[in-house]
């Protein structure tokens, strides 16, 4: 049975929004209930199941044409069992009722966003959703949805109260700074926005930096591993989603680094916005390999003769497309030093994508993640503290975080080994050519 609350079938296939064509006259079954006892039936599961879902003008319980003594119970004619409803009311309030039909006019303003979008798309297509970044709704549309991008964007702009800007991710990425280009679909061309995550504010120009709201749990998960005497080195810090909560937690020291000067600019501002500025945070704008070989190395060396050593040090490498290729730059950070002078663990958290070209069991992705990390760090028997599946990115593509202690034989090695820029570029190029990330 066709749901009477859906827009007219005639709008299917519409690509340019015409609000007038969504107007529709319907009749719905209603029951008059005395106002003084209506509250006694509202909570009934049977009544709730058969009542109309709340819309802009139509609600399950409505005023009855100005008659204050009566309320109108509005029922959904789809799959309605009249006898069951009347029997339920009789049992609840001991009155006999009759069902009458009432006319309603639905307009564009009355439909919810889900019904609107579904009504214009071919039945074989489905809109998978969007990400919220402050006032920005961020789409990642599949190719088959592109003809409908403007009408979907306008509907989201009209129906979502916080939304002022709608953009779609383009299947291109800036080679140097790893943020996606986007196109404006509807609303203001204003990309400076504020995101609140775990009570911290992150201000950014979303057109120039990377942000993924789906990683909020991962940010929390890593920060939960820190204690008050931890030192944090974030090599790909972005606008600060690991850095800021680490400072807020009160760790010993935080070093945040990013190659993108825009990210560094906003990271510094976010430290100020959240009133976290203190001597325990330092921010850098460097290539990660130089950050590891200078800033991280020098800070580690500073603890050699210190009586105030950290309990542990955490190196965060959250650039899943290429972060594993930076692992060799951690080799020999403490070469020629004595292991006994550094009696604290140095723990790496490296994020990576794992892709398959065919359908495989999930176990394969976990095993492949292990292989990729061990291969890049060149330690075949590397032991992991944790190999965590962060999220499903797309079909046949998973994101993992491998956590492990840097082995002494690697950390104190007399050989410094770094991956070549050519190797990183090869992996980066492969990532660009891969399937677009799917929104959930």
Q: What is the CATH number of the domain that holds 351?
A: 3.40.50.150
Task: Report which secondary-structure segment, H or E, holds 24.
Answer: strand 24-34
354 vs 391: CA distance, rounded Å: 11
DSSP-assigned letter for residue 235: T
Judge if 256 and 183 occupy the same domain.
no
Domain co-membership, 124 together with 168: yes
In-domain check, residue 3: no
Specify binding-site residues. 219, 258-259, 287-288, 318
Q: pTM (2 decimals)? A: 0.84
The pLDDT, as a whole number, for residue 236 is 97
Check which CATH number belongs to the domain holding 72 and give it: 3.30.70
pLDDT at 432: 35
Beta-strand pair 312-317/180-187 = unpaired
361 with 251, same domain: the answer is: yes
Binding-site residue ranges for S-adenosyl-L-methionine? 219, 258-259, 287-288, 318
In a domain, residue 5? The reply is no
Copy the structure tokens of residue 77. 């004619």
Domain extent, residue 421, equals 211-433
Asked if 376 and 237 sit in the same domain, the reply is yes
| pLDDT of the residue at 39 | 86
Instruction: Name the one residue in this structure whose structure tokens are 């325990």.
Output: 280
- Please indicate, yes or no, if residue 19 is contained in any of the structural domains: no
- Quick one: 142 and 220 in the same domain? no
Same domain for 178 and 245: no
Phi, psi for 326 (deg, rounded to 5): -90, -10
In a domain, 9, yes or no: no
* CATH number for position 158: 3.30.300.110
Answer yes or no: do 268 and 344 share one domain. yes
User: Does residue 361 lie within any of the structural domains?
Assistant: yes
**Do 89 and 154 belong together in one domain?**
no
The last residue of one of the domains, among 106, 129, 146, is 106
| CA distance linking residue 265 with residue 261, whole number of Å | 6
Map residue 7 onto helix, strand or coil: coil
Q: For residue 141, give both structure tokens.
A: 């549309």
Q: Read out DSSP for 254-268?
A: EEEE-S-HHHHHHHH
Give the number of C-alpha atoms closer than 13 A to the C-alpha of residue 196, restricted to the C-beta side: 2
CA distance 438 to 210: 16
Contact 400, 374 (CB under 8 A): no
Please give the distance of CA 190 from its chain centroid, rounded to a whole number: 20
Backbone phi, then psi, for 63, in 5-degree steps? -65, 150
Phi first, then psi, for residue 114 (nearest 5°) are -65, -45
Q: How far is CA 87 from the centre of its chain?
A: 46
Q: Tell whether 336 and 243 lie within a shared domain.
A: yes
Euclidean distance between CA atoms 246 and 232, whole angstroms:
8
Q: Is residue 100 one of the residues assigned to a domain? A: yes
- Residue after which a domain boundary falls, among 52, 84, 106: 106
d(CA 70, CA 92): 17
Where is 169: in which H helix or E strand?
strand 165-173
Rg (CA), the chain: 29
Question: Cβ of 300: how many Cβ atoms within 10 Å?
Answer: 20
In a domain, 317, yes or no: yes
| 208, 173 Cβ separation under 8 angstroms | no
The number of distinct structural domains making up the chain is 3
Domain end position, chosen among 84, 106, 128: 106
pLDDT given at position 418: 47
Q: 374 and 231 share a domain?
A: yes
Residue 206 within any structural domain of the chain: no
Whether residue 121 sits in one domain with residue 262: no
Inter-CA distances, 139 with 75, 135, 165, 216, 278, Å: 35, 13, 11, 18, 37
How would you classify the pairing of strands 345-355 and 386-394? unpaired
Do residue 47 and residue 135 come from a single domain? no
Q: Output the tens digit of pLDDT for each of the chain's 440 residues.
A: 678 899 999 999 999 999 999 999 999 999 999 999 988 888 888 888 888 888 888 888 988 887 888 999 999 887 788 888 899 999 999 998 999 999 999 999 999 999 999 999 999 999 989 999 999 999 999 999 999 999 999 999 999 999 999 999 886 555 466 667 889 999 999 999 999 999 999 999 999 999 999 999 999 999 999 999 999 999 999 999 999 999 999 999 999 999 999 999 999 999 999 999 987 999 999 999 999 999 999 999 999 989 999 999 999 999 999 999 999 999 999 998 999 999 999 999 999 999 999 999 999 999 999 999 999 999 999 999 999 999 999 899 999 999 999 999 999 987 655 444 444 444 443 443 333 333 33
């Amino acid at each position: 049975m066709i749901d009477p609350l859906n827009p007219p079938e005639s709008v299917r296939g519409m690509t340019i929004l015409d609000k007038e064509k969504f107007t529709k006259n319907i009749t719905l079954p209603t029951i008059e209930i005395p106002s003084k006892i209506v509250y006694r039936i509202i909570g009934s599961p049977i009544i709730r199941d058969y009542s109309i879902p709340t819309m802009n003008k139509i609600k399950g319980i409505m005023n009855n044409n100005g008659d204050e003594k009566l309320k109108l119970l509005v029922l959904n004619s789809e799959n309605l069992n009249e006898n069951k409803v009347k029997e339920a009311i009789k049992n609840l309030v001991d009155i006999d009722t009759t069902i009458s039909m009432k006319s309603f006019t639905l307009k564009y303003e009355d439909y919810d966003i889900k019904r609107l979008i579904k009504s214009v798309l071919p039945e074989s297509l489905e809109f998978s959703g969007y990400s919220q970044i402050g006032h920005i709704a961020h789409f990642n549309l599949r190719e088959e949805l592109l003809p409908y991008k403007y009408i979907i964007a306008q509907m989201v702009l009209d129906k979502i109260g916080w939304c002022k800007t709608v953009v779609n991710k383009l299947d291109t990425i800036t080679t140097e700074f790893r943020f996606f280009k986007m196109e404006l679909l509807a609303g203001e061309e204003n990309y400076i926005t504020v995101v609140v995550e775990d009570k911290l504010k992150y201000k950014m120009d979303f057109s120039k930096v990377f942000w993924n709201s789906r990683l909020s749990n991962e940010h929390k998960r890593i920060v939960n591993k820190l204690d008050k005497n931890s030192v944090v080195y974030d090599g790909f810090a972005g606008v600060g989603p690991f850095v800021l909560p680490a400072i807020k937690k009160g760790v010993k020291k935080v070093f945040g680094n990013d190659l993108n000067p825009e990210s560094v600019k906003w990271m510094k501002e976010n430290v100020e916005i959240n009133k976290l500025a203190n001597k325990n945070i330092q921010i850098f704008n460097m290539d990660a390999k130089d950050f590891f070989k200078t800033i991280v190395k020098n800070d580690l060396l500073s603890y050699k003769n210190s009586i105030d050593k950290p309990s542990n040090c955490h190196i965060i490498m959250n650039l899943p497309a290429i972060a594993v290729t930076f692992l060799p730059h951690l080799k020999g950070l403490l070469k020629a030093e004595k292991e006994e002078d550094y009696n604290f663990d140095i723990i790496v958290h490296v994020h990576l994508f794992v892709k398959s070209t065919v359908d495989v069991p999930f176990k394969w992705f976990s095993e492949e993640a292990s292989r990729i990390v061990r291969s890049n760090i060149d330690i075949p028997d590397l032991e992991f503290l944790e190999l965590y599946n962060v999220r499903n990115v797309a079909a046949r593509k998973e994101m993992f975080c491998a956590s492990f202690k840097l082995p002494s034989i690697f950390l104190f090695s007399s050989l410094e080994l770094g991956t070549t820029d050519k190797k990183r570029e090869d992996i980066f190029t492969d990532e660009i050519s891969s399937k677009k990330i799917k929104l959930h």
